[in-house]
A and B are shown apart, each in its own frame.
Chain A
Amino acid sequence: MGTTKTLSGTAAAREHPVQQITTRTDSREILANARRDIARYHLDDYFIVDVDAHHVEFDSWAEILDHLENPVLRHNAKAMTQDWPRARQLAFSNHPVGLTFQDVFGRIPHQAELGEDVEKTDEHRDLTLIRRAMDSLGIKMQVVFPQPMLEMGLHPEPDIVTAITFAYNRWFARTILPRERRVRTLLSLPFHDADASMKTIREFGETPGVVGFMVTSQRHTGVHRNVYMRIYRELEERGLPLAFHAGPSWGDHMTTTMNRFLSVHSMSFVTCNMTHMTNWIVNGLPERFPKLKVIWIESGLAWVPFMMQRLDHEYLMRQSDAPLLRRLPSEYIAEMYFTSQPLEVTMPRMLEATFQAVRAETQLMYSSDWPHWDFDVPARIAGLPFLSEQAKRNILGENARRVFRL
């Protein structure tokens, strides 16, 4: 039956209250269109866990520096913030120039700043912003990370990295986690220092809201080095996952050839995790720590079938280089966990094949990456035509419930 269109009487159009979205716009207005997805896909009926979202730690940087344990380092950092106007939100950090390219030069304001008004209450501002985003996206629980601190693996001074990582972790565990049960985190390890990493796990391993630990992937170390084995053993025995969170670098041998942030972001957010996964597999770490749950965050998914095929191909000809393996590399990779964002969707048939390769129904966990420029709404998963209803539920939340014992 054809569609009949009738013209009713003339109504009045109302001027929309927000003509242009800026860095000052309320998150609920920015994400208003996502709330329509909640009704369209009945997302209220899902237990949605977002395994990768961010708050802006630089907004609370002075508070975080107060948690520096060493009095000299605390003095040094606070002196920077007092005397260098532009260091108030940067002191001791490793904020690289490339990160300020992420908003495509004013085109994606929420990446640059969430500068919206928040009522003055006893509540921490970051929690208000987190709740606004979660409610707008239909998310029940969110794993929250910092942002520029993801670059700390490239910081030139290891002692400062250790001190700042402890300060941030203590601040987050004391200031944010106790106030909101819907917020969880994978705390960052000062990975360059195995002793400090062990201390981190023992200090926070039973803190409510800490569901595991995270290594920032931009760093120049082999994850197979013997010094790290006790970290993996400790996490395996505690049943806590280890996540590798990707990040960008415009400073490595390959990306220094690049002239556009598009190029740098496309490659470096993936190659850092490709490197660590290669070392992880070839050195037989899945055989050494078979119960350790490993999660790869924010590299998308398209790289995974490549890694599976490439490592399988090479391994079969050079088995003696990887003597600990008893199966194909792809079989170990298929037992790992992945977060979904940024989901590469331009080739639907390849996307479906990728979901099959990574065993998405049990191994994939939805992530938004809000408020970053390439964030994904839950409808990204809910709208995929090749997924069963149960697969959607698993990816949107049930897999995370199982992995993190939520």
Chain B
Amino acid sequence: MPTTQERAYVGASGRVPEGGRLVVDVGEKTIGIFRVQGRLYAWQNICAHQGGPVCQGKMIPRVTEVIDPGGESHGFAFDESHPHIVCPWHGFEYDIQTGVHPGRPAAQLIRVAVEESEDGIYVTV
């Protein structure tokens, strides 16, 4: 069965600012577009867990724990270099740049092709 891909114009580049997000509908699909360190990433709004609206969740840096050379803990810290998107249904977290759950690589978001040209942002779904 042939499938038809649809290329959709999202808008000007400024619609997705650095560290920001834009959730759009293209036909029956909902897509989250994110910008991290200048680069765009787009994912379908379906969590790998129970299908929740992951792209509409909270954006927050990955949480790490500070361990000294002696193995002692010194509490939590944010890793600003790894922003996460958190599914609001159950809290599954994904690295926005890879779409992968940090504790279970098999839990992945569905990538959407996104491109940026002089007239703005396009996604292909």
Contact = CB atoms under 8 A, between A and B. Distances in A.
Is B a genuine binding partner of A?
yes
Interface of A: 1, 3-16, 18-21, 30, 32-34, 36-37, 104, 106-110, 373-377, 379-380
A14 B7 contact: no
* Listed residue (A3, A10, A37, A110) with the most chain B CB atoms within 10 angstroms of its CB: A10
11 contacts: A4-B2, A8-B6, A8-B7, A10-B7, A15-B25, A16-B24, A16-B30, A30-B89, A36-B51, A106-B58, A109-B58
Contacts of A37: 51
A237 to B, nearest CB: 41
A50 B52 CA distance: 19
Given A16-B30, A21-B56, A3 B51 contact: no
B5 A108 contact: no
B64 interface: no
A374 B89 CA distance: 8
* Listed residue (B8, B26, B60, B90) with the most chain A CB atoms within 10 angstroms of its CB: B90
A373 B91 contact: yes
A376 B50 contact: yes
A104 B91 contact: yes
A8 B124 CA distance: 10
Given A1-B1, A3-B2, 12 more contacts: A6-B2, A6-B3, A7-B6, A7-B124, A11-B6, A13-B9, A16-B23, A16-B30, A20-B21, A30-B88, A109-B58, A110-B89
Contacts of B56: 16, 18-21
Contacts of B46: 33
B86 interface: yes
By Cβ-Cβ distance, the 3 closest A-B pairs, closest first, are: A13-B24, A4-B2, A16-B23
B122 A5 contact: no
B66 to A, nearest CB: 15
A108 B53 contact: no
B31 interface: yes
Given A34-B51, A107-B88, A11 B60 contact: no
B22 interface: yes
B61 interface: no
Contacts of B4: 5-8
A341 B102 CA distance: 24
Nearest to B50: A377
